[in-house]
Structure 1
Amino acid sequence: MYAVEFETEIRDGVMIIPEKYVRLKNTHARVVVLVDEEELPSDPEINAFSNHTADTIDEWKDPEEDDVWT
């Protein structure tokens, strides 16, 4: 697994993949969305989730993936 980073707009639940990453279209991906707080209306569920780190989510723990970063 590898990571790419880009900024895009999300409209009606859809985000556009930049042409630079055209090979990502029609593939499966794990997506992490980072949004400036002032752009979102307050949502207690999102706020509660935001107070946790990825380390607390068991499905995201994969030692083989972590080896890439160490």
Structure 2
Amino acid sequence: MYAVEFETDIRDGIVKIPEEHERLKNAHARVVVLVEEPEADTEVRAFSEHSAGTIDEWRALSEDEVWT
């Protein structure tokens, strides 16, 4: 599985695949829709914008040695 990212408008429940991704027009895919919604619940938005990289205690370089 691989990811392809593009922006498009959804019209009447239909997502138009851009021409540069034409090979996807007759393919099975898992779809994730990210919608910009400025009036979203601020508490939910706070959770979605959380990043482990913002917590100083989790930035220890020795922790990264596990993955190298």
Q: TM-score range by the shorter chain?
A: 0.5 to 0.7
| Correspondence for 2:55 | none
- The code of the aligned residue for 2:24 comes to L
Instruction: State the TM-score, normalizing by the size of structure 1.
Output: 0.53
Residues 1-56 of structure 1 show CA distances to partners (whole Å, capped at 9, x for unaligned) of: 0001000000000010000000000110000000011388xxxxxxx8xx78xxxx
Aligned mates of 2:11, 2:21 — CA distance in 1 = 19
Which gives a bigger RCO, structure 1 or 2 (Cα 8 Å, sep 6+)? 1
Name which one, 1 or 2, has greater alpha-carbon Rg.
2
Mapping of residues 31-46 of structure 1, within 5 Å: 31-38=31-38
Q: Which runs of 4+ in 1 moved over 6 A?
A: none
TM-score norm. by structure 2 comes to: 0.55
Q: Where does residue 8 of structure 1 map in the other structure?
A: 8
Structure 2 residue runs without a partner (length 5+): 49-68
From the superposition, tell whether residues 13 and 39 of structure 1 become closer, same or farther in structure 2 (CA, over 3 Å).
Answer: farther
Structure 1 residues 39 and 31, CA gap change in structure 2 (3 angstroms): farther
Judged with a 3 Å threshold, the aligned counterparts in structure 2 of structure 1 residues 39 and 29 are, in CA distance, closer, same or farther, namely: farther
